[in-house]
Amino acid sequence: MVLVFQVWTIYNVCIIAVGVKHLLRTGRKKRKSSKVSGKRLPTFSIMVPVKDEEQVVERLLNRLLRLNYPSCKREIVVVEDGSSDKTVEICRKYCGRYPDQVRLIHRSVSNGKPSALNYALKHVTSEIVGVFDADNVPEADILVRVVKYFEDPSTAAVQGKQCSINAGENILTKIISYEEDVRYETYLRGKDILNLFVPLTGSCYFVRRNMLRKVGMWDSKSLSEDMELSAKLTERGYKIRYASDVRSWQENPSNLTQLFRQRTRWFRGCMEVSLKYGRLFKRLDRRCIDAEATLVGPYMVVPCLLGYLMGIYSFLNLIQPDFLFTIIAQSTMLLTTLILFLIGVGLFYLTKPRKITNVLWLPFVYVYWSIQNLIALYALIQVVLKRPRRWMKTTKTGATSNPNVKG
């Protein structure tokens, strides 16, 4: 079991290493400005599923209305899913002010995000569908930048980079912001370079509408509709790209309760998608094989925890009666150290200003990583016991610690 974890870890370390190498090579290049060209521009429907989002939805609508893209080529479709606060009133106000740009689709009964997205898709005709959670604040040139990725007809979807809007709120949001930076800019970057499986991450992503319909849209019963859609697209042979220059800011959980609820849903959803699409392993296609290797990630928590315990036991005991036990335990600790080293390199290059002292966050990242393992183990227990699925919405407060990001 631990050996399986080690093979899986080595495989992903190679992907991260490729991402780090590319990051180091491109890190010194300045981000070029992007302008609307004279080429034919595709039409966009930006779908925003909302429920009880009065704290953040106005900020998002203000930003979407100011995107650097012809207003005749884009529309904002808000699908409201049974709110009990002032969300509907706020959205109706914007529909009245901008009737040619903002549409509100109201549903009195809430059946979760994927169901809301499927309902909204029936009312749009644009070529490309964009999805944003209500707490997002996309950069003004996001649509201009994503267009170039869709110039390749084999590209079905594009996942942008999500940055933390409240990283400075407390130590937890800071660590999550580091985790997300490293995940996007090393792991997803490495997957994109190697032409592997790039998963959609729930927000700030774009999909061709005709391909969405071909694969049957979102699974309304899934707790991880983004992963499920990613698996469906990959199984059909469609390509998903990661675009580091297509950026949006979002709010991260600011306390352990929010984190626990959010990650439990994520992990359980991913585990269930892995079981559903286990057939991907049978296909002799590297993206399909990598997709399943990605989806089984949350299952690796058990051998991961076991490996940690074996490593600690190995180093605390001077006499080891079992040579194989020692090799497995210490190699697991070595792999963990290697991953932390790569994360440290990523943190050094991603955090501004660049300081070697940024790597001092690594012990906190390791503790946070261990908490994630425990959450994944809890999610696994739910899957095994077949507990009822519950869509646990993450509460958004509108908190921001970045003065440069405004609605």
Asked if residue 162 has pLDDT above 70, the reply is: yes
pLDDT of residue 220: 86
pLDDT of residue 322: 61
At 53, the amino acid letter reads E
Torsion of CA 255, 261, 267, 269, to 10 degrees: -150
The whole-number average pLDDT for the span 358-379 is 76
**DSSP H helices in 27-155:** 57-65, 87-97, 113-121, 142-147
Least confident of 145-149, 191-195, 236-240, 323-327: 323-327
- Spatial distance between the Cα atoms of 232 and 252, rounded to a whole number of angstroms: 27
pLDDT of residue 297: 86
The whole-number average pLDDT for the span 143-166 is 93
Under the banding of pLDDT at 50, 70 and 90, the label for residue 268 is very high
- Spatial distance between the Cα atoms of 47 and 202, rounded to a whole number of angstroms: 12
Asked if residue 38 has pLDDT above 60, the reply is: no
The answer to whether 223 and 269 have CB atoms below 8 angstroms apart is: yes
Under the banding of pLDDT at 50, 70 and 90, the label for residue 301 is confident
- Spatial distance between the Cα atoms of 253 and 264, rounded to a whole number of angstroms: 13
Under the banding of pLDDT at 50, 70 and 90, the label for residue 238 is very high
The answer to whether 225 and 120 have CB atoms below 8 angstroms apart is: no
The whole-number average pLDDT for the span 260-276 is 91
Residues 6+ apart with CB under 8 A from 142: 67, 160, 204, 246, 247, 248
The answer to whether 287 and 196 have CB atoms below 8 angstroms apart is: yes
Torsion of CA 400, 403, 404, 407, to 10 degrees: 50
The answer to whether 204 and 226 have CB atoms below 8 angstroms apart is: no
pLDDT of residue 402: 73
Residue-averaged pLDDT of the chain: 83
Under the banding of pLDDT at 50, 70 and 90, the label for residue 1 is low
Calculate the alpha carbon distances from 70 to 36, 63, 73, 75, 124 in Å: 9, 14, 5, 10, 17
Asked if residue 345 has pLDDT above 90, the reply is: no
Under the banding of pLDDT at 50, 70 and 90, the label for residue 28 is low
CA 173 to the chain's CA centroid: 16
The pTM of this model reads 0.85
Domains of the chain: 45-253 (3.90.550.10)
Under the banding of pLDDT at 50, 70 and 90, the label for residue 344 is low
At 63, the amino acid letter reads R
Asked if residue 321 has pLDDT above 60, the reply is: no
Least confident of 14-28, 123-137, 282-296, 355-369: 355-369
What SS3 class is residue 48? strand
Residue 333 token pair:
């600790």
- Spatial distance between the Cα atoms of 165 and 234, rounded to a whole number of angstroms: 31
- Spatial distance between the Cα atoms of 205 and 370, rounded to a whole number of angstroms: 29
pLDDT of residue 333: 63
pLDDT of residue 117: 92
The packing angle between helices 362-385 and 301-316, to 10°, is 130
**What is the β-pairing status of strands 102-107 and 74-81?**
parallel
Residues 6+ apart with CB under 8 A from 46: 64, 74, 75, 76, 77, 129, 130, 131, 132
Check residues 247 and 398 and name the one with the higher pLDDT. Answer: 247
pLDDT of residue 13: 80
pLDDT 10s digits, 48-86: 999 889 899 999 999 999 999 998 999 999 998 778 888
pLDDT 10s digits, 81-115: 778 888 889 999 999 999 999 999 987 777 788 88
Residue 399 token pair:
């908190």
Check residues 167 and 398 and name the one with the higher pLDDT. Answer: 167
Asked if residue 285 has pLDDT above 60, the reply is: yes
The answer to whether 43 and 73 have CB atoms below 8 angstroms apart is: yes
Q: Which residue's entry shows tokens 């609307």?
A: 36
Residues 6+ apart with CB under 8 A from 284: none
Under the banding of pLDDT at 50, 70 and 90, the label for residue 305 is low
**What is the β-pairing status of strands 74-81 and 137-138?**
unpaired
Asked if residue 319 has pLDDT above 90, the reply is: no
